[in-house]
Amino acid sequence: MKSIRTDIQRWLIIAMAAIALAGAILSLIIYSIVYTHQIDSELELRARLLSKTISRQGHGIRIGIDDSDLKRISDIGCDAVYQIWLSDGSVLAKSAKLGRENLPTSFSSIRPVFKNIVLKDIGSARYICLAITPRIALPSDSSLGEDYCSIPPEVSTAGPYVFLGLAQERQWYSSFMLLCIAIRFVMILVLLSLVVSWLSKCIDKSFIPFAELNDQLLQLNSLDLNQKIEIDNIPEELVPAVSALNKFTENIQKSFSREKRFVNDVAHELRTPVAELRLACEVGAQWSDDPVLVRKRFEELRQTSLSMESLVSSLLALRRAERDKVVLTEKTVYLYQFIDKCWGRLIQISNPLGLVLENTVDDSAVITTDDEKLEIILQNLFGNALSYASYESLVKVSLKDNNNGYCTLTISNEAPNMKKDDVTHIFERFWRGSKSSSDGSHSGLGMSIVKQLAEVLGTELSADLSDDETFSISIKFPPGLDPTVRVNRRV
């Protein structure tokens, strides 16, 4: 399984190894530059010392170099060879060690030329080629053991016309360099190992909150999502994620509770109609020879079936209204005509109390909202009025401009059987007024649907029962609540 900690440690080790390697290479380059410069300086110094042994005498060159001199001028006793040329390339002298081999001719009259070369006897060597103008030989100069070479007439002696090549073994230098690099590399490795070890411990320590968080997560019980993950002891980087998780579980718990309550409510609500169906069937079957009793039972079964059908429809409507994302289809609604239409549809079906609608909404009042949902709201409210209002009373509908951008639509009717306490329960699921519960014609879901849909439309819903037993429901439309509701101010 992929582990963040292992990944971090792995990348840390790779990074440290890369740093160690880069450090070693860098130190190699630096050492190389510094030491080469130092060696070259010493080599040039020796070459210049040797050049002092070359002098001009008449039309010839006197060379006082011997192979033994080379050992003497080398403080570390390295092997060295030399070779001397005239500017025309003719060899004036060279070390016996070179035998038939020649040092490279890298003539430059301006500055000394340095090179790394490989010789048969010496191996790898550092080489300098120096242009010199021999001094005039003094009478005191000894002539013993010195070579004398004449200068051909074509060789110009106006500038430096003799070149001295000196090659010095550099094996020791390479070994020294390698040793230095190795030591450096090992030191860096040891240092980096210590750093990696320390960082690993730091990482382990940093991961302790993760482990604690894991423990807390493992203790979460799917049956009790009320548990919260403590955010006091976790790093602040994790706080947003943990807070989101807490919020998420809280929402799930709320959803579970809502579903559980809903299922309980529904199951409870279904007990009575199921009991009605069962009892009617059992009584009808037991006295099936009594046609009057059987007919009565059939009628009861029909009534109960209709009640259950209404209950199921209401439940589905409520479920649709309670969905998290309800699609709203906005339309321009002329309120006056719309209210009349909703009322007309209802009283066509039944108006047992002989109620009359008093629609005082201005006929130019317009709102932009989802007309289907608004119609469900109005039909439920009018339906309640048709069931509970006083005989032959008025159902009043009015629209008030609150002068603060809000408009309030109020539906009111007389409710002689209603109590003040009922108002607090009116939006609860399956709550019924005293009349509805006894005749079985109401599911107790209508007002819950109204409340849910009102929220969906972005409106505020309130209920009130005045002292003169007038029950009113107010729907407060907010101004320009795009895209849910927009109120046209032509009220």
Give the binding site for another protein (CB under 8 A).
268-269, 271-272, 274-280, 282-283, 286-287, 290, 293, 296-297, 300, 303-304, 432, 434-435, 437-440
The least CB distance from residue 418 to another protein, in Å, is 13
β-strand partners of 357:
395
- For residue 238, what are the contacts with CB-CB under 8 A and spacing of at least 6? 209, 210, 213
- Choose between 10 and 271: whose C-beta lies nearer to another protein: 271
The least CB distance from residue 280 to another protein, in Å, is 5
- Choose between 296 and 320: whose C-beta lies nearer to another protein: 296
- Choose between 4 and 279: whose C-beta lies nearer to another protein: 279
Q: How far apart are CA 133 and CA 161, in angstroms?
A: 6
Tell me 97's DSSP state.
G
Residue 389 token pair:
């209002």
The least CB distance from residue 412 to another protein, in Å, is 24
Q: CB–CB of 488/368 below 8 Å?
A: yes
- For residue 408, what are the contacts with CB-CB under 8 A and spacing of at least 6? 399, 400, 402, 474, 475, 476, 477
In order, the DSSP letters of 37-53 are HHHHHHHHHHHHHHHTT
Residue 402: Cβ within 10 Å count: 12
- Choose between 115 and 296: whose C-beta lies nearer to another protein: 296
β-strand partners of 136:
56
- Choose between 206 and 272: whose C-beta lies nearer to another protein: 272
Length of the chain: 491
The least CB distance from residue 438 to another protein, in Å, is 4
The least CB distance from residue 295 to another protein, in Å, is 11
* Upstream peptide bond of 483 is cis (omega within 30 degrees of 0): yes
- Choose between 308 and 409: whose C-beta lies nearer to another protein: 308
The least CB distance from residue 265 to another protein, in Å, is 11
